[in-house]
Amino acid sequence: MSVAMDTIATRLKALKTLAYAAPHVPADNWADTPHAQFERWLDEAVTAGALEPQVSTLSTVHPDGRPDARSVVLLNLDARGWHFAANARSPKGRQLANRPFAALTFYWPAIASQIRLSGPVERLPDAEGHADFASRPERSRASILAGRQSERLDDPADLTRAIDAQLERLAADPALVSADWHLYALAPDEVEFWRADSSRRFARQAYRRAGEHWERCALWP
């Protein structure tokens, strides 16, 4: 086992880190709000060819305090926060119902940047969740309707049968929506932007909510 671990360690050490770090990170030209700064960096990531920059890591907490995390897709950003979708009966849905706080982490190697957000999470009106559900491909909707997310699957044929059954329901009623499918908005009270440069003099800026406004400060790397 130690030999295998040494081999893995050697392989990992050989991989290049921060391959796209810029030679210098300007310390000025930061937006007044994290929302505007996020949009700037998102546009940069898209322009730089970042793969799926809309995907982030959503971190939640089990009732016993254990952390949990998974990838989710950012669906929108507005004054209410950063939007994502989830099944209320899924582990993340239950965790958010029990403790409505979370963190989102975006990492875009193409621009050597990371953004971390944390704060309370609000479930958005049902109509918005229904609209998101209706906009999804048919097989995606069938999978959501089949439910049982994260439960043990003993026979893959059971999944096929469950999805086929929901496809039949959708064929009979194209307007069918899942009552368990919801949109959520994370309204951060803290947002941190991190960007690497090739000299390892990394730039970090933190936005912290202060009433109706945001305060911004630089952080030691």
pLDDT tens digits along 137-155: 999 999 999 988 888 888 9
Domains of the chain listed by start with CATH number: 17-126+180-218 (2.30.110.10)
Nearest in space to 188 (alpha carbons), one of 99, 102, 106, 118: 118
The burial class, CB within 10 Å (0-12 / 13-18 / 19+), for 208 is: middle
Q: Indicate the pTM of the whole model.
A: 0.90
Angle at 146 between CA 186 and CA 169, to 5 degrees: 115
List pLDDT tens digits, range 178-221.
999 999 999 999 999 999 987 778 899 999 999 999 999 999 98
The pLDDT score that the predictor gives to residue 16 is 87
Question: Cα torsion for 133, 51, 23, 27, to the nearest 10°?
Answer: 0
Residue whose tokens read 């368990």: 180
**Which residues in the chain show pLDDT less than 70?**
1-5, 23-28
Q: What is the pLDDT of residue 28?
A: 67
